[in-house]
Amino acid sequence: MALHSAAAAAALSALLMLSFSGLTLSDTTPSTPVSPSAACNATTDPTFCRSVLPPRGKGDLYKYGRFSVAESLAGARMFAALVDRYLARHRHLSSSAIGALRDCQLMADLNVDFLTAAGATIKTTDTLLDPQADDVHTLLSAILTNQQTCFDGLQAASGSWSDRGGLDAPIANGTKLYSLSLSLFTRAWVPTAKPAHSHKGGSNDPHHGHGHGHGDKNKKHPAASAARRGLFDVTDDEMVRRMAIEGPEATVEVNTVVTVDQSGAGNFTTIGDAVAAAPRNLNGSTGYYVVYVLAGVYEENVVVPKHSKYIMLVGDGIGQTVVTGNRSVVDGWTTFQSATFAVVGQGFVAVNMTFRNTAGPAKHQAVAFRSGADLSAYYGCSFEAYQDTLYTHSLRQFYRGCDIYGTVDYVFGNAAVVFQGCTFYSRLPMQGQCNTVTAQGRSDPNQNTGTSIQGCSLVAAPELAANTAFTTLSYLGRPWKNFSRTVVMESYVGALVDPSGWMPWSGDFALSTLYYAEYNNTGPGADTSRRVAWPGFHVLGDGTDAGNFTVSSMVLGENWLPQTGVPFTSGLIP
């Protein structure tokens, strides 16, 4: 995983300025006309903001927010074209430079899509209901993550090419512009957002079954769907049997079902071919494109692209249906491209699958699974690698009953993600390495992102538990970016976790701006009396703050998880 950017100090300065200058607008509403200068006082970078907003006249925060998003979209389009021009000269570039630019190309294209969608949503209204407000907040958070991914990749490849000076300034300016759009949005629309229904705190009861697609509350579904039972409206242990007997078409709303069978008896012999045959741009209202993958070891690298939406991948169980690859940074891949299985298309669901990267600890970053799929859910899956196993890249994600194996930073990224009932297995790293379960990458104080680990177990994998050759220290996490945010709550913390709990990234980087918290954990490693004394670390005394990191609050799961059939607890565990 790449080092944090040199802009961290500037971000900290902006945050401190924000905490004081925000008082300027404390007595106004978002609809109150103010000067551009006054509007900029409440942003993370007032000086840059004043260089962007029109200098004369007055407007409300809604007007300035729309203007900023429009400017961001124009900038994203120009940057995408710039990356395309660099790639057109690829004969003169190293393979690592080409890989980094291709990552930037995807990120830039997604940013154009996200800003187009965000701009369309806020164009004609000053009032957004949840989940609309959360949708836009999520998209504007993701464009910063995408920009950071591009920057990190170029930084990692900088030693192999010199002709990248033309990208540095556009990336830096784009990051500032995207941060401004996010800042103005959170000050205009987020405070006035009205929930479609109460979701803060949520319910303690598990939810099961299927529901309507996210954002399609008023669409009518076929009458037959009302009679379908939820895929997981029984105990978790019953799920495999039900799927095997009844099939996916009888349990969740389905558009098409195809099978992958290496023997040739199914519709396809590879997962990649099945994904490529999926209908384009399903919106969830007509059901999932279900890919049933029979037991076997599938040696392939799979990408679910942005137009392949609402795909449900169902295997025969952990260790039975396995997708495996061995790409790594040492072998020339970017961290982003090293993933054995990568998902971008919205609404992706995976059940009963194993995703594996076998590159090994000596190959350093080697991702088993990368998700940048909004509203994606994973149930009964195993993610197995060493460093950087599970890349929860961006947008909203949920994991239930999954196993995650790794060593260094093995759950990393900048999604808004909740893990429930999962087991994190810290493996045996190379001698001299420490295990860190998480490396959360929130880079802006207004991003609605973070990692929530709820009702899970953090334990040693068998090879780590049996090792006597050398000592390995294990930690809950370390801050990849300046505003890293991770909460471990209502979970079992094994004895492997060092009493200090958390590991610094480098010196005092992010120790004042991160948000790390623990709440109501058990186990021999859960004692917080000897935890780090960082300003950003918190031991939560009651459920009020912890409730902000539940399914209902962190990812608004009650609005979209019922459709997936994956069970979830929306609030704190009773």
Between residues 412 and 161, the one the model is more confident about: 412
pTM score, two decimals? 0.89
Rounded to 5°, the CA angle 387-374-200 comes to 105
Each domain of the chain, given as residue ranges in start order, spans: 36-189, 256-391, 394-564
pLDDT of residue 56: 84
| Residue 201 DSSP label | S
Give residues with Cβ within 8 angstroms of 412, minimum separation 6: 1, 388, 390, 391, 392, 438, 439, 440, 441, 480
Whether 396 shows a pLDDT value over 70: the answer reads: yes
Between residues 202 and 406, the one the model is more confident about: 406
Domains 256-391 and 394-564 share a fold: yes
Fold of 256-391: Pectate Lyase C-like (2.160.20)
Distance (Å, whole) CA 268 – CA 261 = 6
Q: 5-53 pLDDT, tens per residue? A: 444 444 444 443 443 333 344 557 899 999 999 999 989 999 999 999 9
Average pLDDT over residues 328-347: 97
pLDDT of residue 248: 52
Q: 394-564 has which CATH code? A: 2.160.20.10
Distance (Å, whole) CA 174 – CA 247 = 47
Fold of 36-189: Butyryl-CoA Dehydrogenase, subunit A; domain 3 (1.20.140)
Catalytic residues: 409
Distance (Å, whole) CA 326 – CA 332 = 12
Between residues 221 and 94, the one the model is more confident about: 94
Q: What are phi and psi of 229, to 5 degrees?
A: -85, 150
pLDDT of residue 482: 97
Q: 297-326 pLDDT, tens per residue? A: 999 999 999 999 999 999 999 999 999 999
Whether 148 shows a pLDDT value over 60: the answer reads: yes
367 pLDDT band (50/70/90 cuts)? very high
